Amino acid sequence: MATVARQNIDKLTDKLSVTINKEDYMPAFETKLKSYSKTANIPGFRKGNVPAGMIKKMYGAGIFQEEVLRSVEKELYKYLTDEKPEIFAQPLPLTNDMAVNMSEPDSYTFDFEIGLKPALNVAPLDKAAIIKYEIELTPEAIDEEISRMQTKGGTMSEPEEISEEDDVLNVQFTETNEAGEAVEGGIVKDNSVMLKYFSNKLQKELKGKKAGDSISFNLKNSFEKDALQNILVDLGIDTDDKNAADKHFTMKIEKIGRVEKRELNEAFYKEVFPEKDVKTEEEFKQAIKEDFSKHLEAQSKNQVHDQLYHYLLDETKLEFPEAFLKRWLQSGGEEAKTPEQVEQEFPDFINQLKWTLISEKLTEENKIEVSKEEVKEKMKQEVMGYFGQMNMGEDMSWLESYIDRMMNDEKHVESTYRRLAATKLFDYIESQVKPKNKKIGQKEFFEMLDKHKH
């Protein structure tokens, strides 16, 4: 009779020793041999009349090993099903030097390693020091948003020369030395840049230039700070390199584009807000303010959730079976990884694993659930939002059948479910804390977010 013995071998790591005897695998081995003799096609013998001895000689060793391993796997997973140890991933086989021998059937023992989940005490939410930012929306921000909308809805023309700060320059960058000579093997890249993103000095030099004209400059002194970072990325230059912006380039102007902004009138207001009755510029600004305020409130909420995520991750103390998990990372995927790759990936992997344990416990303890109806309704909202932005008209009779088809897409359903479950979880966590309110300017808030990303 097969047995499974369990022994602790390391921190949160146990060894399972699966021992099987002849009676555990021999009946299946003999049955499989008989099955082969009935179906084997061997020259000189009719199908179904191949001698058992020949079948055993030709295929026996492979079948024997297969049935031994099948019996071991069956007993291993029976043990895991019955005992239900809290483990990570799947058991990993330890080195087994034992060779199975069909000629001398015997008892065999195979060893496996399991990584155990740690005891989990989630950091107390009432101790979390969280700030909720009240983002101040200035009239200037509303005017900028209106200008952006006018530009987005405008028409493109091709003026003869550069003159406006919103002119779009289609250009080719060619890397040069200080003398303006092209660097062999240097960067050559097409790009589009608005005039206003250049430094004030270079803007003055560019005004009056036409398609076909060229200008040479050093990157560092030629762009506004944020624009410089974007240009470096576009050109494929490492932004972490302190000397990245010291490179010189010649920029050839290929084409000049200019957007003629939309006029502020009732037709434009209707396009932007088809569901609202906006007739005047003042009403348009109010509608923009309401929409923008909702967006900023959502951004503020996301920032609270981000703080809560980091608080729970940092303050919930957990130990892990690191040696087991590194071994699993190295060999458990579709492609084996090097020890160096495992070491590089391990910190992020542990954070993801830690958050999974925390979120699963909070979800289970607080009975946070997502119903099929909620998934369907979420899909409906997203589709309506998408087609609403495209102004597809008022006839939405096709929507129900469209959503039903989406509900048959398992990946889409799973993705929607996970997003809803995460939202519900964070809403619950947020309800358990008392954040301090702090006023902050819109620009300052987004600068803070940008620094956090880096």
Q: Considering only 315-319, 378-382, 433-437, which range has the smallest mean pLDDT? A: 378-382
Tokens of 291: 């929409």
Give, in order, the Cα–Cα distances in Å from 405 to each of 60, 104, 228, 399.
51, 59, 46, 10
Does position 354 have pLDDT exceeding 60, yes or no?
yes
Q: Angle 322-331/339-365 helices, nearest 10 degrees?
A: 110
Cα 385 from Cα 400, distance rounded (Å) = 15
| Per-residue confidence (pLDDT) for residue 298, from 0 to 100 | 92
Q: State the burial class of residue 454 (Cβ atoms within 10 Å of its Cβ: 0-12, 13-18, 19+).
A: exposed
| Per-residue confidence (pLDDT) for residue 395, from 0 to 100 | 61
Does position 454 have pLDDT exceeding 50, yes or no?
no
Strands 214-218 and 3-10: unpaired
Does position 391 have pLDDT exceeding 70, yes or no?
no
| Per-residue confidence (pLDDT) for residue 227, from 0 to 100 | 82
| Per-residue confidence (pLDDT) for residue 387, from 0 to 100 | 65
Residues 400-435 have pLDDT tens digits of: 888 889 999 999 999 999 999 999 999 999 999 999
Residue whose pair of structure tokens reads 């560092």 in the numeric block: 220
The mean pLDDT value of the chain amounts to 90
Amino acid at the residue 144: E
Of the pLDDT bands very low, low, confident and very high (cuts 50, 70, 90), residue 97 is low
> What is the mean predicted confidence (pLDDT) over 109-128?
95
Most trustworthy range by pLDDT among 119-123, 223-227, 377-381: 119-123
Question: Vertex 355, ends 352 and 359: CA angle to 5°?
Answer: 140
> What is the mean predicted confidence (pLDDT) over 392-401?
69
Residues 75-89 have pLDDT tens digits of: 999 999 999 999 998
Please give the model's pTM, rounded to 2 decimal places. 0.72
In angstroms, how far is CA 96 from the centroid of its own chain? 38
| Per-residue confidence (pLDDT) for residue 393, from 0 to 100 | 53
- Helix or strand run (H / E) with residue 354: helix 339-365
> What is the mean predicted confidence (pLDDT) over 141-147?
89
Residues 321-348 have pLDDT tens digits of: 999 999 999 987 778 899 999 999 999 9
Residues 26-74 have pLDDT tens digits of: 999 999 888 887 777 777 777 777 777 888 888 889 899 999 999 999 9
Sign, CA dihedral 355-361-362-368, equals positive
Residues 5-34 have pLDDT tens digits of: 999 999 999 999 999 999 999 999 999 888
